[in-house]
Amino acid sequence: MPDLRTVIEPARAKLNLALHVRHRRPDGYHELETLFAFVEHGDLVRVTTADADRFTLTGPFAGVLAGEGDNLVTRAAARFRDVFGGGAHAIALEKHLPVASGIGGGSADAAATLRALAALHGVALEDPRLFAIADGLGSDVPACLLGRTALGRGRGEQLAPLEGLAGMPTLLVNPGIGVSTAAVFKGWDGVDRGPIGTGDLLAVARAGRNDLEPPARVLAPEIDAVLAALAAQPGGVFARMSGSGATCFGLFDTEVARDAAAAALEGRGWWLAATHLR
């Protein structure tokens, strides 16, 4: 009988508390400064040693990805094996996060897969080869692998961990649409509006901005209604779009205020997740 071992890893949603686009680089990427944060809500990845590679998909958003074949999770597993070995694995993904929504669902899934494989095969999470794999999979994957609040520079892969805001009540809202990251970046007006500030994390986040919000709102005007609804809720600290959209978030001063906001926004056909920063 094979020695079956299983590791279960959460793939927590990523938020960009602020996202400043500084300029377009010669390599086609954009130079960014962003405040990454993570919430408790997310997908779940289960990895088991197996005699052959298998990938299964469940959860409320599984249907959106069904039939893809190749995805960030299977790519992460293949690249881990190329670098570290470890044989075959059965990987099960519970998909609770909306797809193409600006909260790093696919990147978080890939990062969770790498963490699970590292735990199964005795690889330290600090191993630079693990972060190199993450960087090769996508710009947000290193931040999701780190899994904590951080200032990201470059494409987002140059990370400086930050303290603060853990436990803050948060409401995620998606109007039920996906937007193309490439199309949103293409719509950026090219104006450098300056760097992210320094000091108290909440004050810095509130004083920041998301430079991708204006082009995303042109492509998906439904974002306007979400942001307006979040901004109108009592007890809100601030509301903003995350990443390239269309998911928006509101930070609240109490759980009571957050839950009241969630109740107020129910019935509009929007996806909601009441959670906390971690």
Tokens 């693990």 locate to 130
C-alpha pair distances (Å), 111 with each of 7, 81, 105: 13, 14, 10
CA–CA dist 117, 134 (Å, integer)? 13
User: Catalytic amino acids?
Assistant: 14, 140
Decide if 219 contacts 179 (C-beta within 8 A): yes
Residue 59: CB atoms within 10 A of its CB come to 15
Q: Which two tokens stand for residue 5?
A: 């071992």
* Helix/strand/coil for 278: coil
Residue 146: CB atoms within 10 A of its CB come to 18
Q: Which two tokens stand for residue 146?
A: 């780190």
CA–CA dist 258, 79 (Å, integer)? 40
Decide if 177 contacts 222 (C-beta within 8 A): yes
> DSSP letter string over 183-205?
HHHHH-----------SSHHHHH
Instruction: List the Cα angle 66/68/74 in 5-degree steps.
Output: 105
**What single-letter amino acid sits at 31?**
E
